[in-house]
Amino acid sequence: MAPVVSGFSKLSKADKIKWLAEHHFNNDSNATNTLITYWNSDDRLQRLHDEFTENTISNYYLPFSVAPNFLINGNRYTLPMTIEESSVVAAASKAAKFWQTRGGFKAEVLSTTKVGQVHFSFTGSPERLQEFFIQVKPKLLKSVAPITKNMEKRGGGVKEIELRDKTTDLDHYYQLHCTFGTADAMGANFINSCLEQFAQTLVDEAKKFESFSETEKEIEIIMSILSNYVPQCLVKASVSCPVQELPDSKQLSSLQYAKKFVRAVRIAQIEPYRAVTHNKGIMNGIDAVVLATGNDFRAIEAGAHAYAAKDGTYKSLTDAEIKDDQFIFSIEIPLALGTVGGLTSLHPLVKLALQLLGKPNAKKLMEITAVAGLAQNFAAINSLITTGIQQGHMKMHLMNILNQFEATNAEKEQLIAYFKTNTVTHSEVVTQIEKLRS
C-alpha cells in the first residue's frame, strides 16, 4: 500500500514519476520509460499540456481521425473525430457516402438556451418571498452587469430569472431558475459567475427587506451551479429519400429494409435495454466530434441521456418513419457546444479541427455534431438488420488483435488477406497466427 503523500502537486514532474515508480511500479524502468515516451518532444507544447490540468505526468493519446463526404445543408464537410473504437470512423464515413447522393443531411438548431440555478433554503412565508423576489429581480440583473457586458455584445446574456418553489419535493427548498444565452461559447464559467453573484445579491438584499422577519432575512444558499441538462439547447438533424433508393438485396427488398429499419428504431423507443446501446452508438459519433473540437463530452453525454428519459422512460434519441413512400430518419438532441473559450484557442489539434470544419460558430458545430450522431446510428442499424454488427466490427478490430500478438508486417499481410473471406473472431485469429508461426 502506497504511503500518504503531502505536497504531491508541488513536486516536479520527474519527482512525481519517481514517487509513482517507487510506490506503485516496483521501480520498473519500463513504466517510467513509457510515461516519458509519451511526452511531447516540443517543450512548449508539453508545457501547454502540463498546464491543462493538475499532476500531469504524461500525455494519453487518442487517434485523431477524419470522416469525409458529409453533405450537410448543401455544404460538404470532413469531420474530425477523436475516438479509439475501431469501427466508428469507418461507419460514419460509409453513412456519409451513402447519403451524399440522396440529398445529404439536413440540420437545424431549434434553440440555444442554457440553464443555471441558485439553490437555497428559506423557512418563512412563501408569499413574502415572492414579494421580495419581485422587488429584488432588477437588482439581481444589475448586479451581474459587469459580468454580462461582453457577452451581451456578442448576442448573449441573462434571458430570464424565475423563483421556483420546490418545497413539495424538499422542505424549505427554493431555487432561482435562470436561463442564459452564451453566443459561441459553451459558457460554463460565464453562467457560474453570474449565478454566484445572484446568490450574493439575494443574501445581501434579504437582510434589507423590511417585510421579512428577522429569521426570514437569513436566506441560506446551498449551491449555485449551471445545469448540464439543456432541453432548450436543441438541434435536429435528418435524412430522407424515396424508399426505392434504400439498399436492395436478395435478402431484403428496399421496402422490407425500410420497414425493418423503422421497426428496429421503434424497439429502441420502447425497450430501455436496447435504447441504452442504441444511444451509446449515437454518442460514439457525437463524442468523437465533441472531443476533437475541445468541448466537454461528459456534459454532452449527461445532457443527452437525461433528454432520452425526459418522458419518464429511457428511449431512443432517433426516430424513423415511412411517409408517402419516403424514408425519414432523424435525431433531436440537446448539445451545449462552444467554438470560443476553453481549449478551443489553446489546444493545437482543436484549433486544427475547427479550421477543418471551416471555423464554424456554435450553431454550425451543433448541426455538424448532431449529424455525426445520426450517421453513426444509421450505420449501426444498417449493419444490425442486414449482416449483423460483428462482421464489420471484427474486421476493423482485426488489427488490434494482431498488434496484441505483435504480428510482423508479413504476418499481418497474410492474415488480412485470409480474413477478407473468413469470419474474424479472436479465437480464429489466434489459430491462424499459430499456424503461421508453426
| Residues that are catalytic | 85, 280, 296, 393
- Would you say 237 and 100 are in contact if contact means Cβ atoms under 8 Å apart? no
3-state secondary structure the chain: CCCCCCCHHHCCHHHHHHHHHHHCCCCCHHHHHHHHHCCCCCHHHHHHHHCCCCCCCCCCCCCEEEEEEEEECCEEEEEEEECCCCCHHHHHHHHHHHHHCCCCEEEEECCCCEEEEEEEECCCCHHHHHHHHHHHHHHHHHHCHHHHHHHHHCCCEEEEEEEEECCCCCCCEEEEEEEEECCCECCHHHHHHHHHHHHHHHHHHHCCCCCCCCCCCCCEEEEEEECCCCCCCEEEEEEEEEHHHCCCCCCCCHHHHHHHHHHHHHHHHHCHHHHHHHHHHHHHHHHHHHHHCCCCHHHHHHHHHHHHCCCCCCCCCEEEEEECCEEEEEEEEECCCCCECHHHHCCHHHHHHHHHCCCCCHHHHHHHHHHHHHHHHHHHHHHHCCCCHHHHHHHHHHHHHHHHCCCCHHHHHHHHHHCCCCCCCHHHHHHHHHHHHC
- Would you say 38 and 61 are in contact if contact means Cβ atoms under 8 Å apart? yes
Q: What is the dihedral of CA 76, 293, 316, 232, to 10 degrees?
A: -100
Query: In the numeric block, which cell numbers belong to residue 273?
Result: 435495454
Distance between CA atoms of 396 and 65, rounded to whole angstroms? 14
CA quadruple 64, 67, 72, 75: dihedral sign: positive
Q: How many other CB atoms are found less than 10 A from the CB of residue 337?
A: 30
